[in-house]
Amino acid sequence: MTATQLETDMSPPDRRGAAFKDMLSRLAKSAGLALVVGLLIFVFVNWADGFTGKFNLFNLTRNLSVAAVVGFGMMVVLALGHMNLALGSTALASVMIMGWVMKVAALPVPVAVGCGLAVGTFLGLINGWLIVKTKLHSFIITLATASMFLGAVLIVFRAGPISDLPREFTGISKTRYFGWVSGMLLITAVTGVVLGVMYKFTTLGRQMLATGANADAAELSGIPVNRAILIAHGLSGFLAALAGVMFTARQGSALLSTGEDWLLASFLAPLLGGTLLAGGYVSVLGAFLGAMLVGILQNGLVLIGVPDFWVEFVLGLTLLATVSLDRLREVISARRGN
Amino acid sequence: MKMTKLSVMALAAVAGFTTAATAETKVALVPGGPHPFFANWEGGGVDAVSDFGVAASDYRVPQEWKLDMQNKMLESLVSQGYNAFAVFPGDANGTNAMVSELKDFGAPTVSIAGCTQSPSPVEFCLATDVYKSAYMGTMALIEAMGDEGKIVHETSLLIDPNTQLRVAAVEQAIADAQADGKKVELYQHLTDVDDQEKADQKINALLAGKAHEFDGLVSTAWVASVVTSKALRASNNEDLKFIAIDHDKIVLDAIRDGVIQGTMLQNPHGQAYIATYALDKLLNGCSIKADAPFTPTPQHETFIDSGTMLVTKDNIGNWEAEMKAVTDEIMATFDEKFLDCAS
């Protein structure tokens, strides 16, 4: 049961008690995840040669900054109880158009980045609009649009990647603080704070969570559910594009493989962080910690000599274990009558 | 003990993480993705370790042909202690960004088997002169065809700059032969046949439906060479002459059995061997001479030809020794031509 549901069913004192319990449960969840991340860092610092190397930490934080934004992109639709399987294709379409504007049309970098972000937002809005109009599940709609976006990009950009992007743009990925912290982490942090503020303090954020908790109840309460869906998917598209822009800055080229293998990571970060698959609750900090856990796990396992395909196996297993544990917690909670 | 190590690590973290300098040379030989051509790099690295006392020269293959996969692997290899790199560029332009980061880190990089687009931060590019190889292969085919007939050229993707050079070389060879009074002409460039599925479909369809319309084939793609060798063996078509590329066992067996006429060898073993030697030198005080006699190509300014040779039935028993001689020849003058180790 989510915080939003509790608020609609209970009297004020009960509601305060439930909210306090819920807050404690959330904190415990994030603290637990932080503990696991800390434990992993301890293990890899001691047993993975090269883990604390300057170059490794820089790359770790740089990859983390992209992975966290990818996770945020999925988190904002998970808040509705939806999913966005077109996240990778949206990022691809955005960066290819950004690359074209930057390299072929030779327009200034900020204009090109703006175009890329606008394309991502637009494609996200298309997803949202189709979901609202057809009333079909977001799984079906975004599965279809994922193929459509990918196909369209391949038709238009059949000549391959757009390489040799300007240094003014790729320089974003080379910025570092203290010699080892990627400057791109700042973009991720700002994004996370904005999302956190939106969900915690704005009407729009609460409307999205209420829609995710129970769309029918939200509609009856006068919440503009369709608008919330539209905006959440637009935001998901924007975040996919932002992750794509960061990824492209790091690669130095707009690649046709952008976003191709983001699907697992996009679910892993928010779900590990406590965001509910059914909607109604998100944790921005949790999603960031989730991305951190995945990034550190991937990096550390490779450094201790675990082959790449085993790393993929471990990541899949982590997702399965997380979702299963969450389900177990719900069952136990239901049996106790909470 | 562990706690002490942890404390030191934590201190290093606060201080800003310094990377310990290493006197050992650990070379990583990284192709753009899995492809049989690169398998001989492994032996080249092993031989270089044994001959030059290099700490390591390891062949590490990205799981897929994607620039981001290759970049991730390179990042991870730096973290694992590799400090010099020989790479086949995943993207002629895109790889430059990663190489630039490796250079900033103090790890020299050379591109082997394929070149980055100049201007490039790689120290040099050591690869087959694809124009020369395709030209020689076409000339050998023309001779095998008795100086007359129509030629099919099997090659890779047209967007690959090397393919453009190969196409130009085949056309130039045919033009030169015609100028010498030989009655040869180009029938078709069959592109995008360095992929198993596409090669199977396109080559078998061509041989099944149009084999009577041309007289010989020259391949500049590994997979196409294998598929064509198999198809010619299966069809027993002795009228068609074929010059392949590279050293797949199927191709070499076909030459031995007289099914096809020859193959243009490249020098992957030598590429890895020479690159490891040069990278070790570059890490130990040498630099590339400002006036080194590189042979610029349209793609790359600091190009070194890693050698190519024609293998036919006459020299098939001895091709490895002959190719080693090519490597030895490059090595004999490498320091003098390309390295400045005065300091």
Whether the CB of A181 is below 8 Å from some CB of chain B: the reply is: no
More confident residue, B36 or B220: B220
A260 to chain B, any CB pair closer than 8 A? The answer is: yes
Q: Which residue of A has its CA nearest to B158?
A: A159
Residues of A in contact with B76 (CB under 8 A): 299, 302-303
In a domain, A252, yes or no: yes
The whole-angstrom separation of Cα B113 and Cα A175 is: 32
Q: Could you read off the pLDDT of A179-235 as tens digits, one per residue? A: 889 999 999 999 999 999 999 999 999 999 999 999 999 999 999 999 999 999 999
Considering only the beta carbons, identify the residue of B19, B93, B117 that sits closest to A55: B19
> Is residue B3's pLDDT more than 60?
no
Could you give the domains of chain B? 22-128+268-306 (3.40.50.2300), 130-265 (3.40.50.2300)
ipTM (interface predicted TM): 0.70
Query: How many angstroms away from the CA of B87 is the closest CA of chain A?
Result: 16
Give the SS3 label for residue B307. Answer: coil
Most A CBs within 10 Å, among B17, B105, B156, to test the A interface: B17
- Between residues B195 and B152, which one has the greater pLDDT? B152
Query: Using a CB-CB distance cutoff of 8 angstroms, which residues of chain B are in contact with residue A45?
Result: 6, 9
Domain that holds residue A253: 62-261
Q: At residue B94, does pLDDT exceed 90?
A: no
Average pLDDT over residues A97-110: 95
Distance, CA of B289 to CA of A39 (rounded, Å): 50
Instruction: For residue A169, give every residue at least 6 positions away whose Cβ sits within 8 Å of its Cβ, in sequence order, or none.
Output: A102, A109, A112, A113, A248, A249
**pLDDT-based confidence at residue A278 (cuts at 50, 70, 90):** confident
Question: Among residues of chain B, what percentage have pLDDT more than 90?
Answer: 71
The residue-averaged pLDDT of A246-271 equals 90
Contacts of B317 (CB under 8 A, 6+ apart): none
On chain B, the residues whose CB falls within 8 A of the CB of A57 are 17
pLDDT at B168 over 70: yes
| Mean pLDDT in residue range A18-42 | 77
Mean pLDDT of chain B: 89
pLDDT at res. B13: 41
Angle between helices A203-213 and A184-201 (to 10 degrees): 80
Domain contains A137: yes
A212 occurs within a structural domain: yes
For B104-113, what is the mean pLDDT? 93
pLDDT band at A326, cuts 50/70/90?
Answer: low
Residue B23 clears pLDDT 70, i.e. is over it: no
| pLDDT value, residue B205 | 94
Local confidence band at A17 (pLDDT 50, 70, 90 cut-offs): low
Provide the 10 A C-beta neighbour count for residue B98. 27
Q: Is B70 strand, coil or helix?
A: helix
**Sequence letter at residue A31:** A
pLDDT at A16 over 80: no
B78 and A56: CB-CB below 8 Å?
yes
At B7, is the pLDDT very low, low, confident or very high (cuts 50, 70, 90)?
very low
- Checking if the pLDDT of A167 tops 70, the result is yes
- The reported pLDDT for the residue numbered A284 is 94
Please answer yes or no on whether B9 and A45 come within 8 Å at the CB atom: yes
Distance from the A319 Cα atom to the nearest Cα atom in chain B, whole angstroms: 22
Mean pLDDT of the B77-82 span = 90
What are the pLDDT digits (tens) for B283-303? 998 999 999 999 998 788 999
**CB contact at 8 A, B225 and B190:** no
Q: What is the mean pLDDT of residues A2-13?
A: 46
Q: How is residue B279 written in tokens?
A: 């990278």
Q: Residue A260: its pLDDT value, please?
A: 86
Is the omega angle on the peptide bond into residue B119 within 30 degrees of 0, that is, cis?
A: yes
Q: How many domains does chain A have?
A: 1
Residues of A in Cβ contact (< 8 Å) with B118: none
A160–chain B Cβ distance below 8 A for any pair: yes
User: For residue B321, what is the enclosing H or E element?
Assistant: helix B319-338
Chain B interface includes A167 (CB < 8 A): no
pLDDT digits (tens, 9 = 90+) for A72-87: 999 999 999 999 999 9
pLDDT value at position B243? 97
Q: Calculate what percentage of chain A has a pLDDT beyond 90.
A: 58
Q: Is the pLDDT of residue B6 over 50?
A: no
Q: What is the pLDDT of residue A246?
A: 96
Under an 8 A CB cutoff, do A299 and B2 touch?
no
- Which region holds residue A311: left if phi is over 0, alpha if psi is between -120 and 50, else beta? alpha
Q: Which residues of A touch B93 (CB under 8 A)?
A: 163-164, 252-253
Q: How confident is the model at residue A19 (pLDDT cuts 50, 70, 90)?
A: low
Three-class SS state of B2: helix
Domain assignment of residue A72, yes or no: yes
Using CA atoms in the order B228, B229, B235, B237, what is the torsion angle rounded to 10 degrees? 90
Mean of the pLDDT values across residues B54-76?
A: 90
Q: For B193-251, what is each residue's pLDDT tens digit?
A: 988 889 999 999 999 999 999 999 999 999 999 999 999 999 888 889 999 999 999 99
Q: Which of A71-75, A172-176, B314-318 has the highest mean pLDDT?
A: A71-75
Query: Mean pLDDT over residues B74-88, rounded?
Result: 93
Q: Which pLDDT score, from 0 to 100, does residue A23 have?
A: 65
Answer yes or no: is A271 within a domain. no
CB half-sphere exposure, B162, CA atoms < 13 A? 22
Residue A201 forms contact with B (CB below 8 Å):
no
3-state secondary structure chain A: CCHHHHHHHCCHHHHHHHHHHHHHHHHHHHHHHHHHHHHHHHHHHHHCCCCCCHHHHHHHHHHHHHHHHHHHHHHHHHCCCCCCCCHHHHHHHHHHHHHHHHHHCCCCHHHHHHHHHHHHHHHHHHHHHHHHHHCCCHHHHHHHHHHHHHHHHHHHCCCCCECCCCHHHHHHHHCEECCCEECHHHHHHHHHHHHHHHHHHCHHHHHHHHHHHCHHHHHHCCCCHHHHHHHHHHHHHHHHHHHHHHHHHHHCCECCCCCCCCHHHHHHHHHHCCCCCCCCCCCHHHHHHHHHHHHHHHHHHHHCCCCHHHHHHHHHHHHHHHHHHHHHHHHHHHHCCC
Taking the Cβ of residue A52 and every Cβ of chain B, the question of whether any pair is shorter than 8 Å is answered with yes
**Looking at the predicted structure, is the pLDDT value of residue A7 above 70?**
no
Q: What confidence score (pLDDT) does residue B4 get?
A: 41
Neighbouring C-alpha atoms within 13 Å toward the C-beta of B191? 11
Whether B133 shows a pLDDT value over 90: the answer reads: yes
Count interface pairs A-B at CB distance under 8 A: 96
Cβ-nearest to A179 among B16, B63, B94: B16
CA distance A77 to B200: 44
Most B CBs within 10 Å, among A47, A56, A248, A261, to test the B interface: A56
Given pLDDT bands bounded at 50, 70 and 90, which one contains residue B153? very high
